[in-house]
Amino acid sequence: MAGKVKEKNSEKRRVSRRYLTIFLFVMLWGVLIIVKMSIVMFAERQYWNDVSKNLIPANRTIEPRRGNILSDEGLLLVSSMKHYRIFLDFATYEKNQKRAEADQHRKDTLFERHIDEFAREINRMFPQYSVRQLRQHFITGRTSKSKHSWPLLPGVSRNLYPISYNQYKTLTGTVWLRPKNEGWFYSLESKISREQPFGTLASRTLGDMFAGKDSARFGLELSFDSILRGTPGIGHIEKVQNVSHMVADIPQIDGCDIVTTINVDMQDVTEVALRRELELVNAASGTAVLMEVATGDIKAIASLTRTENGYYEIQNNAVRDIFEPGSTFKLVSFMVALDDGKISIMDSVFCEWGRYAGFGGGAVMTDAGIGYGWLDVPGIIKNSCNIGTSKLITAAYKDDPQAFVDGIYRTGINTHFEMQLIGTGAPVIRKDGYWDATRLPWMSIGYNSQMPVINTLAFYNGIANGGKMVEPRLVTEIRHEGKVVERIPVKVVRERMCKDKTLEQIKMMLEGVVDGGSGEKAASRHFKVAGKTGTAQISQGAAGYRNGIRTHMVSFCGYFPADKPQYTCIVSISTSGGAAGGGTMAAPVFHEISEKVMARRILRNVSEAVDTVNQFLPAVLAGDMNSTRLVLRKLGMKPEWKESDSLTWGRVTLDSIQFRMTPIIEREGLVPNVVGMGAQDALYILESAGLRVEIAGVGRVRSQSLPGNSRFRKGDRIRINLSM
Amino acid sequence: MSLSKAEISDFVRRNLLLIAEILLCIVLYIGNRYGYQRDQVLAEQLRRELVDMEYQALNTTSDVSAKSKPSYIEKIVVSNGSELVISTEPAYDLRK
C-alpha cells in the first residue's frame, strides 16, 4: 500500500514538474515578447514608423478609364491616350569614383559615336525637328546644368507630352534608350490625355477637357461627362515575390462609350467646303450643318471663325448663337398663311420697284434695288422678295398678328433644341407686347425674331421629312465594353407641321428656288435639290443695322435629293461689308457638300453612261468572220460587210462606232498572218497550211515567229505568243 | 522532469499520423502559397500587358484614322503632283 502511495506521489511530482517547466517556458516566452515589444515601441520607434509608412497598404484609388466618343460608323473620335515626355541623362549617377569614371566614359563614348545616328532616328519620328537642330540640342544638353534631365525634344513646354505611346515604345526599344546601364539613362513622365485622332474635326461639338484637370469644358465631353467618366475603384499595393502590385478591393468601372451621329467623311467634306468659301470671301465666321432627314441625326456640324492662323472652331455657333434668320424664315410665314387659308398660292401682289415705305412708321423696306412688279407666291419665294412677302402677310394678319405667331409656334420652329449639349441657344419669337407698324412686316421676312441656325435646319428637315419635325440628334447609343446600354430614340417634335396640301405647295416652291431662282447655284446635275436662300443684316445692338460697315448673315438651307430627301443642310456665313447674298456665297458650299455626299451614296445605272461618245463595244478577235458576224448581230450591232459573203477569215477594225470587217487572204506557200486571232482559229489556219505550231500564253496572238506572208516549207515549226 | 527516450519515442509513435498530417498540410500550404503568388505575379504582368496593348491599339487606330481622313489624303495627293480629286460624280452600278 505504502509502495502504491509513494509511486502516486512520485507520479504527481513528475507531472507537476513537467507543467512547471512548460509554465516557465511560456512565461519566459511572454517576457521575451514584452521586452521585444518595448524595444520596438520605444527604442526603435522611429525606424519602424518609417518602415510602416512605406509598407502600410494605404487605400489607393484606381482611376477608371474615360469612355470613348465614336462616330456613326464606330470610328474613334475622342479617346484617352497615354502620352510621354522623355528626359535624357548624359551624366553618371554613380557615387563610387572609380565606377563613376567608367560609367561616364561609357556614356561619353556612346554619345560621340552615335549622336548623328541618334539625331537621324529622332528626326525620322519627329520630322518637324531637323537633324542639325536635334544634334545641336543634344550637344547643348550635355554641357548644360540640366544634363541629368535634358528633354528629348527641343522647345517643348513643360506641360506638353509630345510623345505618343507607339513612339515611346519604338524609342525605348532603340539602342540608345535602353534602361539601366546599357544606353543613356532616361527618365519618363507619362500622362493620360484626351485625343481627337481626326484633329480638329467637329472639335467644338465633341468637346474638350481642362488641361491637367479631370474636368470637362464643353461639348459632348461636358454634357455626357457623368456617363463617360466611370466610377473609381479602391485597391491597395501588395508586395508579392518582390513585385509590388495593386490589388483591387473594389474594382473600378470604366466609363461608357458614346456613339455619335457624326460621320467622319461627311464632316470632313463639310468643313473643307465651308473653310474654302470663308477664305474666298474673307468672312468673319460660318457654320454648316448636315442632317439626316428621317432621324434628325447630325451627320456633320462645323462652325468656323476667323483667327490669325485661319479658320477654326472657336465656338459652336450653329447651336449656341441666336440670330435673326432672314429670308429663310419667309417659308415659315408662307406655310402659316397657306395653312390658315389666309392666302392662296395663286395670289399675286405688286412688289413695287425695289423700295416700299407703305407699312408706316417711316420705315422703308427694300429688295436690294430690284423691282419685281407683280409676282405670285411661288415667284416671291423664287426671287426671295421682301416687299411681296411682307405685303401678303401684313394684309392677311394685320387684324390679328398674334394668330400669325400662333401659326409659327404650330410649326414647332420655336422649340428649344437642347441637342444633348449644354448651353444651346433658345429661339426668341415674341408673341406678346405692342405690335407697331413695322413689327409684323419685318417679322414675316425673318427679322424681330432670333433663333439658332439649327432651328431653321430642323424646320426645313421637317418639310423634307413629309411634315414630321424631329429633334436634331447627336448621340444615338451608349455602350459599355462594346455592349449597348442605352439607345437614344428619335424624338418627334411635330407629327404634322402643316396640312399635306400646304406641304406639297411649299416643296414645289422650294424646288423652284433652286431651279432658276435665287438658289440656282445649289443645283446639281445628278439629283434634284430644293431649298431657300437667306440674306439678313445683322443688328449691331443699340446701333441698329447700319452702323458703319453692314454685316450680313447669308445662308442657304435645303434638302437633297428633292424627290426622295435623304439629307438636309444649312450653310450660313457671316460677312462684313460688300455685296452679300445667300445665293452667291452659301449656295455653292451647299452644292459642294451635297454633291460630294451624294457621290458616295447614289449609284447610277450603267446605261446612263452610254452616249454618242461612250459606247460599250466588245473587243473582237480576228478569225472566223461568220462566227463574229453572228455574235455581233446577237449583241445588236451591225458589222459592216464589205467583201463578198464567202469571207471566212478576217479581222475587225473599229471605225468610230462601226465594226468593219476585212478579209485575211491565204496564199499557198506563204505563212498566214494570224496576229490578233484567238488560239483556236490561229492553230486551225496554221496547221491546215502545214505548219507545226507551238503556243505560248493565253489571249490573242501578239506575235508569230515566222512573219506573215513569208515563205515556208511544210512541217516548219512556228511559235505564236499570246497575251490578253 | 526529463522525458525518457522511450517516452518521446512513444509519444512520437502515438502521434505519428498527426505529425505526418501536419507536415503534409505545411507542404501543401507552402506549395499552394508559392503557386498562388506566382499566378498573382503572372496575372499582374498580363494585366499590365493588356493595358499596354489597349493603349497601343488605341494609338494605332488613332494614327491610322488621322491618315485616312479624306482631306488629309487629298492634301497628300495634291502635294505629290497628282491630278486626282474627290469625285462629285456618282458611281455607276456595274452589277447585273
Which DSSP string do the residues of A662-721 spell out, in sequence order? EE----TTB----TTBBHHHHHHHHHHHT-EEEEEESSEEEEESSPTT-B--TT-EEEEE
Give the pLDDT confidence score for residue A696 in this predicted structure: 87
Give the pLDDT confidence score for residue A24 in this predicted structure: 94
**Average pLDDT rounded to a whole number, residues A335-347:** 92
**Amino acid at the residue A709:** N
A594 with A635, same domain? Answer: no
Helices (H), A600-678: 625-634
CATH of the domain at A668: 3.30.10.20
Query: Cβ A14–B1 below 8 Å, yes or no?
Result: yes
Does some domain include residue A42? no
Question: Which stretch of A55-64, A324-333, B9-18, B32-41 has the lowest confidence by average pLDDT?
Answer: A55-64
Give the pLDDT confidence score for residue A507 in this predicted structure: 94
Name chain A contacts of B60, Cβ cutoff 8 Å.
Answer: 166
Identify which of A324, A281, A372 has the alpha carbon closest to the alpha carbon of residue A581: A281
**Closest by Cβ to A79, choosing from B62, B74, B86:** B62
A574 with A633, same domain? Answer: no
Pick A219 or A650 by higher pLDDT: A219
Residues from A in contact with B at Cβ < 8 Å: 14, 17-18, 20-21, 75-76, 79-82, 164-166, 169, 195, 197-199, 201, 240-241, 243, 245-246, 264-265, 268-269, 271-272, 526, 592, 595-596, 598-599, 601-606, 608-609
Does some domain include residue A604? no
3-state SS, residue A241: coil
**Closest by Cβ to A81, choosing from B44, B62, B89:** B62
Does some domain include residue A26? no
Highest mean pLDDT among A184-188, A382-386, A454-458: A454-458
Contact between B41 and A241 under an 8 Å Cβ cutoff? The reply is yes
SS (H, E, C) A521-553: HHCCCCCCCEEEEEEEECCCHHHCCCCCCCEEE
Q: Which residue has the cell 512520437?
A: B12
Query: Cβ A265–B70 below 8 Å, yes or no?
Result: yes
Does some domain include residue A241? no
B71 part of contact set with chain A, CB < 8 Å: yes
CA distance B2 to chain A (A): 8
Distance CA A498, CA A504 (A): 10
What single DSSP character describes residue A630?
H
Give the pLDDT confidence score for residue A339 in this predicted structure: 93
Task: Please name the residue of chain A whose CA is at the shortest distance from the CA of residue B3.
Answer: A18
Give the pLDDT confidence score for residue A295 in this predicted structure: 94
The phi and psi torsions of B47 (rounded to 5 degrees) equal -65, -45
3-state SS, residue A491: coil
Pick A612 or A679 by higher pLDDT: A679
Does some domain include residue A43? no
CATH of the domain at A429: 3.40.710.10
Question: Which stretch of A118-122, A183-187, A581-585, A717-721 has the lowest confidence by average pLDDT?
Answer: A183-187
Contact between A720 and A682 under an 8 Å Cβ cutoff? The reply is yes
A189 with A300, same domain? Answer: no
Name chain A contacts of B55, Cβ cutoff 8 Å.
Answer: 81-82, 165
A582 with A685, same domain? Answer: no
Distance CA A107, CA A120 (A): 19
Q: Which residues pair with A469 in a beta bridge?
A: A494
A227 with A287, same domain? Answer: no
Name chain B contacts of A264, Cβ cutoff 8 Å.
Answer: 65, 69
Contact between A722 and A701 under an 8 Å Cβ cutoff? The reply is yes
For residue A714, give its domain range: 623-723
Q: Check residue A627 and give left, alpha or beta (phi > 0: left; psi -120 to 50: alpha).
A: alpha
CA distance A523 to chain B (A): 13
**Average pLDDT rounded to a whole number, residues A377-400:** 91
CA distance B65 to chain A (A): 6
B83 part of contact set with chain A, CB < 8 Å: no
Task: Please name the residue of chain A whose CA is at the shortest distance from the CA of residue B64.
Answer: A197
A109 with A187, same domain? Answer: yes
pLDDT digits (tens, 9 = 90+) for A502-555: 999 999 999 999 998 888 899 998 899 999 998 887 765 555 555 556 688 899
Name chain B contacts of A271, Cβ cutoff 8 Å.
Answer: 71
ipTM of the complex model? 0.72
Confidence label for A212 from pLDDT (cuts 50, 70 and 90): low
pLDDT digits (tens, 9 = 90+) for A600-647: 777 777 777 666 666 666 777 778 888 888 888 887 777 776 655 556
Does some domain include residue A537? yes
Cell numbers placing B75: 492634301
Task: Please name the residue of chain A whose CA is at the shortest distance from the CA of residue B71.
Answer: A268
Distance CA A720, CA A700 (A): 10
Query: Cβ B58–A595 below 8 Å, yes or no?
Result: no
Give the pLDDT confidence score for residue A185 in this predicted structure: 61
Q: Which residues pair with B69 in a beta bridge?
A: none
Question: Strand pairing of A298-307 and A310-312?
Answer: antiparallel
B81 part of contact set with chain A, CB < 8 Å: no
Query: Cβ A197–B94 below 8 Å, yes or no?
Result: no
A400 with A476, same domain? Answer: yes
Query: Cβ A198–B69 below 8 Å, yes or no?
Result: yes
Domain count of the fold of chain A: 3
Query: Cβ B61–A271 below 8 Å, yes or no?
Result: no
- For residue A87, the Cα-to-chain-centroid distance in whole angstroms is 35
Confidence label for A22 from pLDDT (cuts 50, 70 and 90): very high
Name chain A contacts of B89, Cβ cutoff 8 Å.
Answer: 526, 599
For residue A567, pLDDT beyond 90: yes
Task: Please name the residue of chain B whose CA is at the shortest distance from the CA of residue A607.
Answer: B92
B90 part of contact set with chain A, CB < 8 Å: yes
**Among the three residues A240, A258, A276, which one is the final residue of a domain in this structure?**
A258
pLDDT digits (tens, 9 = 90+) for A109-138: 888 888 888 888 888 888 888 999 988 988
Q: Which residues pair with A479 in a beta bridge?
A: A257, A484
A591 with A632, same domain? Answer: no
Distance CA A316, CA A222 (A): 13
Mean pLDDT of all residues in chain A? 85
Helices (H), A600-640: 625-634
Does some domain include residue A614? no
A404 with A517, same domain? Answer: yes
**Closest by Cβ to A604, choosing from B38, B74, B93:** B93
CA distance A160 to chain B (A): 17
For residue A657, pLDDT beyond 70: no
* Percent residues over pLDDT 90 in chain B: 20
Confidence label for A578 from pLDDT (cuts 50, 70 and 90): low
A188 with A279, same domain? Answer: no
Query: Cβ B88–A271 below 8 Å, yes or no?
Result: no
**Closest by Cβ to A198, choosing from B40, B66, B87:** B66
Candidates A14, A24, A82: best to mutate against B (most CBs of B within 10 A) is A82
CB burial string A225-254: b at 16+ within 10 A, e below: bebbbbeebebeeeeeeeeebeeeeeebeb
B6 part of contact set with chain A, CB < 8 Å: no
pLDDT digits (tens, 9 = 90+) for A468-481: 999 999 999 999 98
CA torsion A532-A280-A599-A297 (nearest 10°) is -60
B37 part of contact set with chain A, CB < 8 Å: yes
A648 with A570, same domain? Answer: no
Name chain A contacts of B91, Cβ cutoff 8 Å.
Answer: 599, 603-604
Query: Cβ B66–A166 below 8 Å, yes or no?
Result: no
Give the pLDDT confidence score for residue A408 in this predicted structure: 94
A649 with A570, same domain? Answer: no
Distance CA A220, CA A423 (A): 11
CA distances from A291 to A80, A202, A233 (A): 28, 14, 40
Identify which of A427, A430, A432, A402 has the alpha carbon closest to the alpha carbon of residue A415: A427
* Percent residues over pLDDT 90 in chain A: 36
Query: Cβ B93–A82 below 8 Å, yes or no?
Result: no
Candidates B38, B51, B88, B94: best to mutate against A (most CBs of A within 10 A) is B88
**Among the three residues A241, A258, A275, which one is the final residue of a domain in this structure?**
A258
pLDDT digits (tens, 9 = 90+) for A227-284: 999 999 888 887 777 777 777 888 889 999 999 999 998 999 999 999 999 999 889 9
Does some domain include residue A170? yes
Question: Which stretch of A164-173, A439-448, A512-521 has the lowest confidence by average pLDDT?
Answer: A164-173
